[in-house]
Amino acid sequence: MRNIFAVPIRDQILIYAPLHNLAALVSPTLALRLRDLLASGEPAGDGPLGELVDLLRDEVTEPAPLQGEFVPSALGLLPTRGCNLACRYCGFIASEETQFVMSLEMARDAVNWYMDQVQRSGAPHAEIHFFGGEPFCVEAVIDLAVHLAQRRAAEIGCTLRFEVATNGTFSEARCYWTADNLDTVVLSFDGPADVQNLHRPYKDGSGSFDAIARNARILSEGANSVYFRACITEATVGRMPEIATWFCQEFRPDAVSFEPLQPTPWSDNAGLVPPDPWAFAHNFIAAAQILEAHGVRPVYAPAEIGARQVTFCPVGKDFVIVAPDGVLTACYLLRGEWEARGLDLRLGRMNTDQNGAVQIDPEAVESIRGFNVHNKLFCAGCFARWHCAGGCHVNHILGSQPGDYDRLCIQARIIALYNILHAMHHDELAHTWLQDHAALARSVWQASDRLADRDGTL
Ligand code: SF4
Ligand code: SF4
């Protein structure tokens, strides 16, 4: 029963059992009958209710945290924490860490270590991601890592995939190279010129729009996957449908991910504030419909109902990220950001004075695997727990009381519910539900969505 949820959608109840891959809309009376039958174990008889009970009585296995031997699932390289832009919301701007640049020796040793692990474990696939700062500020590290990993993968006989998260301001020649050599490009691109230049200027204050628009066009024509990642503020939330339309008319991304601004002292100084969550959810859904009509996948990561996971991100997935100073971490944020929250996300370190020997700390591995939704009691009764998994371990501070949802929970819950109704082809109902604020609020503000916790008022 703990993985069977019931959420009111206007005058019906959405029964949602993600681990059974099941969703059904029923009347409140039927939902209570369903609860009682499941709790009592009584025979449910034939007919649609009986079928539903039978399906929901199937045993399911909850996603589990990783256990046992540490085998890196992917390698992340941070060539530098520095960047050529000075985005108005970026928390990296003032960090001392931005001065560090990864040496070529460290990049070589990290790739060799990772590919050795792939070979030793017999994994059929290797995965290398580049993050920053702006990774293309140190192109030599990317070139070396790509060529070395390709050679090692050919020797081992495994497949290999590269992904980069970039601001997309590289030269035209580098853009063609990227289109030809990297499999997925996640491009931070906030929208038309006025938005992009306001949010994401160069350090001298000039706009970055022209460079990124040119490169977004080149990448759109390449064979690789291109995701646009747009940061949304209170000022741009109402423009999400317009931004989606413009992205589709001007470019050909495979997916567009909209993310609400994560406030920093720098965004506060620039007068940029996060969007209202209700407005974000409404506008995301309007934008999603436009994107889908153009064959572009809309993404709001915490509401991806296809996911079944215990952690939202690399943390807890044995993903190893190598920082320019040789520290191995589970999270790509600056160390100071997670330390400020009292977290230690170090997995080990590379010893550059010992031929790049890599030390993984087993206690750190255990501790970081513990960052998972099983340990987030706040999320225990949320229907989205196996999709959102509690969100970012650093920046999403969960409430102390069940149902004490913050703006991130509110928008994740609305968008996930919309995604479920859309997947069920109940778009008309989804539309009327979204227009009915009282009904929407009833869906959002349930302290527990578990069917077993629903009382006679359901
Ligand atoms: S309670 Fe909030 S953080 Fe937890 S799973 Fe639900 S939406 Fe995500
Ligand atoms: S903890 Fe947050 S910032 Fe770090 S990798 Fe996960 S989602 Fe990203």
Interatomic CA distance for residues 262 and 350, integer angstroms: 31
One domain for residues 300 and 446 = no
Tokens of 260: 């609400």
Question: Ligand 1 centre from 179 Cα, in Å?
Answer: 36
One domain for residues 263 and 191 = yes
Give pLDDT tens digits for 55-86: 999 999 999 999 999 999 999 999 999 999 99
What average pLDDT does range 432-438 have in this prediction? 97
Tokens of 217: 């066009």
Q: Whose CA is nearest to atom 5 of ligand 1?
A: 385
Is position 106 within any domain?
yes
Residue 440 has pLDDT above 70, yes or no: yes
- In this structure, is the dihedral angle defined by the CA atoms of residues 371, 372, 377 and 382, taken in order, positive or negative? positive
The Cα diameter of the chain in Å comes to: 72
One domain for residues 401 and 287 = no
Closest ligand 1 atom to residue 413 Cα is 7
Last residue of one domain, picked from the residues 363, 391, 416: 363
Q: What pLDDT does 424 receive? A: 98
One domain for residues 301 and 444 = no
One domain for residues 428 and 345 = no
The residue to which tokens 């009327």 are assigned: 432
What average pLDDT does range 420-444 have in this prediction? 97
At 46, is the pLDDT very low, low, confident or very high (cuts 50, 70, 90)? confident
Closest ligand 2 atom to residue 313 Cα is 6
Is position 16 within any domain?
yes
Question: Ligand 2 centre from 220 Cα, in Å?
Answer: 27
One domain for residues 344 and 203 = yes
Tokens of 406: 């913050």
Is position 369 within any domain?
no
Q: How far is CA 358 from the centre of its chain?
A: 28
At 1, is the pLDDT very low, low, confident or very high (cuts 50, 70, 90)? confident
Write a three-state SS string for the chain: CCCCEEEEECCEEEEEEHHHCEEEEECHHHHHHHHHHHHHCCCCCCHHHHHHHHHHCCCCCCCCCCCCCCCCCEEEECCECCCCECCCCCCCCCCHHHHCECCHHHHHHHHHHHHHHHHHHCCCEEEEEECCCCHHHHHHHHHHHHHHHHHHHHHHCCEEEEEEEECCCCCHHHHHHHHHHCCEEEEECCCCHHHHHHHCCECCCCCCHHHHHHHHHHHHHCCCEEEEEEEECCCCHHHHHHHHHHHHHHCCCCEEEEEECCCCHHHHHCCCCCCCHHHHHHHHHHHHHHHHHCCCEEECHHHCCCCCCCCCCCCCCCEEEECCCCEEECCCCCHHHHHHCCCCCEEEEEEHHHCCEEEECHHHHHHHHCCCHHHCHHHCCCCCHHHHCCCCCCCCCCCCCCCCCCHHHHHHHHHHHHHHHHHCCCHHHHHHHHHCHHHHHHHHCCCCCEHHHCCCCC
Residue 266's domain is classified under what CATH number?
3.20.20.70
Closest ligand 1 atom to residue 390 Cα is 3
**More confident of the two residues 8 and 354:** 8
CA angle, residues 29, 34, 36, in degrees to nearest 5: 100
**More confident of the two residues 1 and 231:** 231
**Ligand with the closest atom to the CA of 385:** 1
Average pLDDT in the chain: 95
Residue 40 has pLDDT above 70, yes or no: yes
Q: How many CB atoms lie within 10 A of CB 314?
A: 21
Question: Ligand 2 centre from 315 Cα, in Å?
Answer: 7
Give pLDDT tens digits for 370-392: 999 999 999 999 999 999 999 99
Residue 95 has pLDDT above 90, yes or no: no
One domain for residues 329 and 392 = no
Residue 92 has pLDDT above 80, yes or no: no
One domain for residues 312 and 394 = no
Closest ligand 2 atom to residue 395 Cα is 2
Pocket test of ligand 1: the residue of 280, 377, 383, 388 to mutate, having most ligand atoms within 8 Å of its CB, is: 388
65 CB-near residues (< 8 Å, 6+ apart): 310, 311, 316, 369, 370, 372, 374
One domain for residues 256 and 327 = yes
Last residue of one domain, picked from the residues 363, 393, 422: 363
Is position 66 within any domain?
no
Residue 278 has pLDDT above 70, yes or no: yes
Q: How far is CA 209 from the centre of its chain?
A: 25
At 223, is the pLDDT very low, low, confident or very high (cuts 50, 70, 90)? confident
Decide: 331 in ligand 2 pocket, CB within 6 A.
yes
What average pLDDT does range 110-114 have in this prediction? 96
At 307, is the pLDDT very low, low, confident or very high (cuts 50, 70, 90)? very high
Give pLDDT tens digits for 172-197: 999 999 999 999 999 999 999 999 99
Residue 355 has pLDDT above 80, yes or no: no
Q: What pLDDT does 456 receive? A: 64
One domain for residues 261 and 397 = no
Q: Burial-class residue 418 by CB neighbours within 10 Å (0-12, 13-18, 19+).
A: buried
Is position 67 within any domain?
no
What average pLDDT does range 419-440 have in this prediction? 98
Q: What letter represents residue 161's amino acid?
A: R
Decide: 346 in ligand 2 pocket, CB within 6 A.
no
Q: Is the peptide bond before 133 cis (omega within 30 degrees of 0)?
A: yes
Closest ligand 2 atom to residue 396 Cα is 2
375 CB-near residues (< 8 Å, 6+ apart): none
At 93, is the pLDDT very low, low, confident or very high (cuts 50, 70, 90)? low
| Domain ranges, residue 394 | 5-61+376-453
Is position 69 within any domain?
no
**Ligand with the closest atom to the CA of 316:** 2
One domain for residues 167 and 295 = yes
**Ligand with the closest atom to the CA of 165:** 2
Beta bridge partners of 22: 17
At 126, is the pLDDT very low, low, confident or very high (cuts 50, 70, 90)? very high
Is position 406 within any domain?
yes
Q: What pLDDT does 45 receive? A: 85
Last residue of one domain, picked from the residues 318, 339, 363: 363
The residue to which tokens 């160390």 are assigned: 335
Is position 149 within any domain?
yes
Q: What letter represents residue 432's amino acid?
A: T
Interatomic CA distance for residues 262 and 278, integer angstroms: 16
**Ligand with the closest atom to the CA of 408:** 1
Q: Whose CA is nearest to atom 7 of ligand 1?
A: 409
Q: How far is CA 198 from the centre of its chain?
A: 25
CA atoms within 13 A on the CB side of 160: 24
Question: Ligand 2 centre from 345 Cα, in Å?
Answer: 10
Interatomic CA distance for residues 25 and 48, integer angstroms: 12
Instruction: Work out how many domains the chain is built from and give that number.
Output: 2
379 CB-near residues (< 8 Å, 6+ apart): 373, 385, 388, 389, 390, 398
One domain for residues 162 and 269 = yes
Decide: 314 in ligand 2 pocket, CB within 6 A.
yes
